Amino acid sequence: MLEDQPALIVTAMKNEGPYIIDWIAHNMAVGFDSFMVVSNDCNDHTDRILDRLEKLIPLKHVANPKSLFPEKTNWQVMAVRYATLFNIYKDAGWIYFTDVDEFLQVWTGDGTLQALHDAAGGFDVISLTSMPFGSSGVAHIDDAPATAQFTVQSKDYDRVQETGERNSNAIKTMFHNRIKFSVRRNHRPRRHDFSTTGYRWVDGSGRVFSDDWVNGKEKAVSPIGSTDLAQFNHYAIRSEDGYLMKVSRGDVVGAPRLDTERSVKYWRFYNAQGSVDTRAVAGHPRTAQIRAELMADPDLRDWHETSVAFHRDSAARLRDRDDFAHLLERMAAVPTAP
């Protein structure tokens, strides 16, 4: 809850089975009340996990209608648009678009949305800075929270601050549902006259954005100075095997599989050796309890364990394929110094 109003996460998923329960538990601990999940042609039991969660917590799971209309837009845009049609979305006080590899970290108070709101002096919209993390040398898929496994960031932020070099990171945005926007998108909503509305739009340090910024389309901010109160950790590649599975499944824009050159470029960016940040390793104090309560459900536990096994077995088979063996060689040859 935030200001006594329900906070909803909207997300799209494809083959994220091993990671769902940790992510759900984390977000419930932070203060999100409900989840709207649009799944994209999963074959790793992600859909089964979500169907079971639907019976245990306030979660709505639907299949992406993009499957029926292949000529229409991309998977991500379709998911965002489709989510707005459901009552769980219409009834929410707050909306936050995020992904299952992104973990909101609140550094103030008790680590909740309400503590963030209070420390920021109140807000109607908040755009949080992405802080990407690499693989931290982890090769295989471990059934453990991403926050505990991956601690090496993709950029050296001490160097960025010392040199004063221009730098920008992506954002994700939480906003009050009453606000009328012309467009609501995955990174931010848009309204050309937002600065005239009287609503307050801040960054992760509680600083109010300029009129030009809130009225525009910018989807990135400087990571320096914008994360004092909160940020979201982006575990885009996870482990080496986890990344092979990501390459195999494709992306939310529409590629059924990422090509080798794009895959190497993506790995190079995210696996650069930057700053070490261990603040999220312990997790929110309530996360472990919530996860244990969810895993106490035998059906959910079985689907989760089945999905973990599927990912491990699938990754092992990918390693034996010539095309993925070549990709692994290219990944190993990528320089990791910033």
Joined together, the tokens standing for residue 233 give 């950790």
* H-only helix segments in the chain: 20-30, 46-56, 75-83, 87-90, 113-119, 146-149, 157-163, 211-215, 240-249, 260-270, 287-295, 298-319, 322-332
Domain positions in the chain are: 7-332
pLDDT in tens, the chain (338 residues): 899 999 999 999 999 999 999 999 999 999 999 999 999 989 999 999 999 999 999 999 999 998 888 878 888 889 999 999 999 999 999 999 999 999 999 999 999 999 999 999 999 999 999 999 999 999 999 999 999 999 999 999 988 888 878 889 999 999 999 999 999 999 999 999 999 999 999 999 999 999 999 999 999 999 999 999 999 999 999 999 999 999 998 754 445 556 788 899 999 999 998 999 999 999 999 999 999 999 999 999 999 999 999 999 999 999 999 999 999 999 988 655 44
Main-chain dihedrals φ then ψ at residue 295, nearest 5 degrees: -70, -10
pTM: 0.95
**CA dist., res. 270 & res. 276, Å (int):** 14
Tokens 């309400």 correspond to 114
Residue bearing tokens 């799209």: 12
For residues 239 and 141, the answer to whether their CB atoms sit within 8 Å is yes
3 state SS of 233: strand
